[in-house]
Structure 1
Amino acid sequence: MTATVPETGNDRHDTAERLLRSSAELSFDPTTQVDWETPLDRDYHGMSPEWSSLYGTRYWEEMTEEQRKELTRHESASVASTGIWFEMILQQLVLRDFYAKDPTDPAFQWALTEIADECRHSIMFARGSAKLGAPAYIPKKRVVALGRVCAAVYSGEAAYASILVAEEVLDVMQRDWMRDERVVPFVRTINNIHVVEESRHMKFAREETRERLQGAGKVRRQVQALFVAMAAYEIVTAMWNEDLYANAGLDRERALREAKGNEHHKALLRSSCAGLMEFLSSCGLLTKPALYFYRRANLI
């Protein structure tokens, strides 16, 4: 598979300046722009029902509409909790990368702007999950431990491509949710804020990935591709916490079994990652070992 990573020259500098201008012109304050005061309306879903891990299964068909809405509220909170977990890793990766670098560089200033965005997003997701009536869906201890390792050792293209994977997967599903009038209004607002601001983060992550890969040899690409794929697997599989089914009042074991075999959900994940996989391929990061993890996570 041939990598086509272009020379960037001053592109990185120009991109950072554009992102800083965009941030100044269009950013949000979730503390005032999300409706936190109106009580939760349980007539709404927490996410587009088609994105539910049980949508299209026999279990879904047996559930009442109230049960489906309760389930999607817990699923939405679970995805948000995973988002918080990864955003905290992201902040550590970016801080380590720009530690003691030139603060007059627009890329340095953009990195701090992105970290500030992520702090607001994490608080927004936390408040949103609480309003949905869900508990904290923290990933498994093993995954949390792996996240600590990732935050401590990932660097360069492995760090930025992993950031991109997490952001791209969330972006696609949240674009659906924010337009869906079946979804509770405050969640739609949260998703809209995240989509708008994360579009800048994804642009930066793509540019940084290309920049760091310039001159990289085959062995380095093979190793980094594997690191990114392993991170992608852990991120995506953590999004639907196993405890959410019982908390939504369902039979946990049956729900887990049917969710695991849900071809509709797998197809939705695969289709949402088409653009991401094309980008990784263009960078030489879609190797055979990496494909193993993407397939296991139903991303390809």
Structure 2
Amino acid sequence: MTEPQTATRTPDHLAELPDILGGDERFRSILDRLVTLSERDYYDPFKLFRWPDRIDEDGYWMSPELLTVHGTEAGSRLTTEQLKALSKWESVNFYSLNVHGIRELLSELVARIHTPPFAVASEYFHHIIGEENDHMWFFATFCLRYAGKVYPDRSMAFAAPSVPEADTFLLFARLLIFEELVDVFNRRMGDDERLDPTVRKINKVHHQDESRHIAFGRQIVALLHKDLRQRLGAAQLRELETYLKRYMRNSVEGLCNPAAFRDAGIPEPYAVRRAVLADPGFDDFTQRVLKRSTSHMTGEGIFSDERIPRV
């Protein structure tokens, strides 16, 4: 779920962005509303959360239907006790991926805040940066308190399309995909009564903030792609679509961490991961957790269809 690292470029077309962003009245109106909502819903995470001494090891730490083995042959061979153990470590992996993804998001926003192309969005950037810093703190705190570690970032790098004009679009598209995927888990776990109240709370709080970030991301991604459709050829637009779909699949595969299988006491963790990723059930899982993103991207004309092929 943390985004792959790609070479940093300074696109020549950045000077055109003020006309794209600042010139859109609907975008400016949405930004004003999001700033108002962020101010209304502000909270102090250091006072909001009261961390219990422990999370019940005999219960689920993640909704069973969100485990990467759900619906696979490998998953059908696991006992209930193994699934509960795996739910602990896949939840820790999920929060760890959030920590790494948020760190990347923050670095990208800080690099752009109060620069001319992003002047119209800079006030809201301040709110996103503050909220995401809070999110990184409570996800990392959960991992360190109840698992003793944050899993390291093991994301695989792959080359970005050779379309310099699309760099800014791809950045915000990746961030939007990251946030929408995370939010699928947050919404489900925030309301799952099988989970510990602390688990439900961190997911529910994160969802409340991310709903605003996603609204922002959808608007800026749509505006940037609309501009690209006027300036790029069909082959280049298909290249962008292929890249983003590879990123989507890579993000979901990041949820399936052999270290989580190992920590759950499941033998041959790398072999289990290979079996899970090759299973048609995992393809179904991928399509299901990405459905919100693929539907939106297709509806906006960014994707030609909703299919996510294997990487």
**Same fold, TM-score > 0.5, yes or no:** yes
What does residue 156 of structure 1 align with? Answer: 168
Distance 1:88 1:179 in 2: 27
Residue-by-residue CA offset, 1:205-224 (whole Å, 9 max, x unaligned)? 01101222233234353343
The Cα shift of 1:273 comes to 2.2
One-letter amino acid matched to 1:136: V
* Counterpart contact for 1:171–1:195, Cα < 8 Å: yes
Residues 63, 278 of structure 1: alpha-carbon distance in 2 compared, 3 angstrom cutoff? closer
The Cα shift of 1:146 comes to 5.7
Distance 1:264 1:125 in 2: 28
One-letter amino acid matched to 2:181: V
* Counterpart contact for 1:86–1:235, Cα < 8 Å: no
Matched, 1:192 2:212: no
Distance 1:123 1:162 in 2: 22
What does residue 123 of structure 2 align with? Answer: 109
Distance 1:46 1:211 in 2: 38
* Counterpart contact for 1:46–1:132, Cα < 8 Å: no
Residue-by-residue CA offset, 1:189-233 (whole Å, 9 max, x unaligned)? 110011110000000001101222233234353343344334323
Where in structure 2 are the equivalents of 1:20-39 lying within 5 Å? 20-39=35-54
Residue-by-residue CA offset, 1:270-292 (whole Å, 9 max, x unaligned)? 1232231122123332258x96x
Residue-by-residue CA offset, 1:240-297 (whole Å, 9 max, x unaligned)? 2221111111111453244224444432331232231122123332258x96xx3216
Residues 67, 28 of structure 1: alpha-carbon distance in 2 compared, 3 angstrom cutoff? farther
Matched, 1:242 2:254: no
* Counterpart contact for 1:162–1:228, Cα < 8 Å: yes
Give 5+ residue unaligned stretches, structure 1: 1-7
Query: Residue 137 of structure 1: SS of its match in structure 2?
Result: coil
What does residue 9 of structure 2 align with? Answer: none
One-letter amino acid matched to 1:12: F
* Counterpart contact for 1:40–1:131, Cα < 8 Å: no
* Counterpart contact for 2:258–2:270, Cα < 8 Å: no
* Counterpart contact for 1:221–1:284, Cα < 8 Å: no
Give 5+ residue unaligned stretches, structure 2: 1-22
The Cα shift of 1:124 comes to 1.1
Matched, 1:202 2:214: yes
Residue-by-residue CA offset, 1:117-145 (whole Å, 9 max, x unaligned)? 111111111111223325322232x62x5
Distance 2:276 2:213 in 1: 31
The Cα shift of 1:234 comes to 3.0
What does residue 10 of structure 2 align with? Answer: none
The Cα shift of 1:16 comes to 0.8
Distance 1:97 1:215 in 2: 19
* Counterpart contact for 2:256–2:273, Cα < 8 Å: no
Distance 1:93 1:50 in 2: 33
Q: 1:255 is matched with which residue: 272, 276, 284?
A: 272
What does residue 281 of structure 1 align with? Answer: 298
Where in structure 2 are the equivalents of 1:34-183 lying within 5 Å? 34-57=49-72, 59-101=74-116, 105=120, 107-133=121-147, 135-140=149-154, 143=156, 155-183=167-195
Matched, 1:212 2:224: yes
Residue-by-residue CA offset, 1:58-92 (whole Å, 9 max, x unaligned)? 55455443322111010011111111111111122
Matched, 1:15 2:30: yes
* Counterpart contact for 1:53–1:262, Cα < 8 Å: no
Distance 2:40 2:300 in 1: 31
How many percent identity over aligned positions?
21
Distance 2:49 2:158 in 1: 33
Residues 82, 275 of structure 1: alpha-carbon distance in 2 compared, 3 angstrom cutoff? same
Distance 2:278 2:241 in 1: 27
Distance 1:23 1:177 in 2: 23
* Counterpart contact for 1:103–1:109, Cα < 8 Å: no
Distance 2:143 2:255 in 1: 13
Count residues with an aligned counterpart.
Answer: 282
The Cα shift of 1:30 comes to 2.8
Distance 1:271 1:11 in 2: 31
